[in-house]
Amino acid sequence: MANIQESSRGGFSNKLGFVLAAAGSAVGLGNIWKFPFEVSDGGGGAFVVMYLAFCFMLCFPVMMAEIALGRKTNKNAVGAFAENGHKKWAPIGILAVLSGSLILSFYNVVAGWALGYAWEMFSGNFSVGQHFGEFVGNWHINMATSTAFMFVTIFIVAKGVSGGIEKASKILMPSLLFLILALMTYSLTQEGAMEGVKFYLIPDFSEITFETAYGAMGQAFFSLSLGMGALITYGSYVGKRDNMVSATSMILLADVGIAFIAGLMMFSFIFSQGLQGQGGGAGLIFTVLPGAFESIGPVLGRIIGGFFFVLLSFAALTSTVSLLEVPVSYVVDEFEVRRNRAVWIVGFVIFLFGVPSMLGNGTVDFFTNFVHYHGAEKAVNFMDFIEDLASDTFLPLGGFLVAVYTAYVWRGDKFKEEVEKGNPEFGNSLMGKYTIFALKFLAPLILGSITIVTILSKFFGIHLIG
């Protein structure tokens, strides 16, 4: 591992370092900001059931494939395919770099909201929740907070990940978990909370539509940082003798666990504050939580609320680092740009591409009503459009391609061989057999068909299903 640590990409000392970094990448705004509003818009419990099924049945095998490919080749998302002897498949990596960059562009804007909210909570401005529209419409503040956020991300990626971010995550991630657990306990004692828990946990299967299914799929990929090569890149840091299967399971459980707890907390708060049924959209945690913090008390509420958004920003930071790392390592390797310069250029370009997302919340009409999908009631803004495109479409597409590549080009036996370094029983275990089966049949079939139907129905108004 020593040479990996010294390499310009930065690296982690051992399996725990890898698990922490990958879990840090996975746990972020996706769990605490995105998951609750997707559940809310997707009809509650039925969405949760689909999400869990996708995570364990489809994402787990794809995750194993990405990590194995990274570990085998020790390369970035594009280079990995060439290194493995299949240069023609490198465009999968290009798609990965593209989707990562698109995701980072809007992710950074939302991270800026979280940072701004930390300030609002510390100053005791709980009413900001009722003025969320104005808050995001005020692009000056958003510009300042997002610039700060991208700056820190660039700084960390430029330094390499082993020092600051690894150490910081070791303290901050457990603190976040502790705080959400405490808030969840508090939220469950609020009046009306049980209605929220019911909405969240008892599935109403009539809510299952094609739209909720692909929303759940996109959410699963997004939350696990899957389908865009982040785990190929991080996988290249895993030691050859480490047990990949247990590492993958830990990452998956940490991510799903935190999303699940965050959901429980959110729906208790939503229902106890009587905010249910208002949809929610991208503002959900920002409209609901200030009121919840206010109910804790004027001083304690400020402190807890402020810390909550600080820790959320840190969770977002370990994710933005992984998002930026993918295009940066590609540019460093393929265009022979020095790392430091590559980080600044790529970070700056992605930041600029995020500006329309900032201006699409009422500031500039063009970005606010950016596209009107065929047959939809309302136009969506720039940010939602990029999110639909990158996270709901490109990620499952990326996952589909990785599964097909692993099963049919790289081949199941070779994949199995790689995993068996560090876990010799894998091939004969039930999990091993299932993983290969899923990569061969289940993942290509489900991911492929969902991606195609999504693209046709969402962007072209051609409805093959319902």
Binding site residues, ligand TRP, CB under 6 A: 25-26, 28-31, 100, 103, 222-223, 225, 228, 230, 319, 322-323
Q: How far is the CB of 103 from ligand TRP (least distance, A)?
A: 5
Nearer to ligand TRP, 396 or 422 (CB): 396
Q: How far is the CB of 95 from ligand TRP (least distance, A)?
A: 12
Nearer to ligand TRP, 158 or 303 (CB): 158
Q: How far is the CB of 102 from ligand TRP (least distance, A)?
A: 10
Render 192-215 in DSSP notation, one character per residue. THHHHHHHHHS--GGG--HHHHHH
Q: How far is the CB of 72 from ligand TRP (least distance, A)?
A: 20
Q: How far is the CB of 170 from ligand TRP (least distance, A)?
A: 18
Nearer to ligand TRP, 153 or 223 (CB): 223
Render 114-183 in DSSP notation, one character per residue. HHHHHHHHHTT-GGGGGGHHHHHH-HHHHHHHHHHHHHHHHHHHHH-STTHHHHHHHHHHHHHHHHHHHH
Q: How far is the CB of 30 from ligand TRP (least distance, A)?
A: 2
- Contact, 394 vs 102, CB < 8 A? yes
> What is the Cβ-side half-sphere exposure of residue 336, based on CA atoms within 13 angstroms?
0
Could you give phi then psi for residue 53, rounded to 5 degrees? -60, -45
Cα→Cα distances 132→45, 137, 301, Å: 27, 8, 19
Q: How far is the CB of 248 from ligand TRP (least distance, A)?
A: 15
Nearer to ligand TRP, 10 or 30 (CB): 30
Nearer to ligand TRP, 37 or 271 (CB): 37
Could you give phi then psi for residue 107, rounded to 5 degrees? -60, -40
Nearer to ligand TRP, 81 or 426 (CB): 81
Q: Which residues, other chains included, contact 8 with Cβ-Cβ below 8 Å and sequence gap of 6+? A: 160, 332, 339
Q: How far is the CB of 399 from ligand TRP (least distance, A)?
A: 10
Cα three-residue angle 238-244-247, rounded to 5 degrees: 90
Q: Which residues, other chains included, contact 193 with Cβ-Cβ below 8 Å and sequence gap of 6+? A: 187, 268, 269, 271, 272
Q: Which residues pair with 371 in a beta bridge?
A: 380
**At how many degrees (to 10) do helices 164-188 and 298-335 cross?**
140
Nearer to ligand TRP, 84 or 99 (CB): 99
Nearer to ligand TRP, 223 or 287 (CB): 223
Nearer to ligand TRP, 230 or 443 (CB): 230
Cα–Cα dist 142/114, whole Å? 10
Q: How far is the CB of 322 from ligand TRP (least distance, A)?
A: 4
Nearer to ligand TRP, 142 or 322 (CB): 322
Could you give phi then psi for residue 235, rounded to 5 degrees? -60, -25
**Tokens 């869990």, residue located:** 52
Q: How far is the CB of 105 from ligand TRP (least distance, A)?
A: 12
Cα–Cα dist 165/172, whole Å? 10
Cβ atoms < 10 Å from Cβ of 186 = 17
- The residue nearest ligand TRP at its CB is 30
Q: Which helix (H) or strand (E) holds 290?
A: helix 284-296
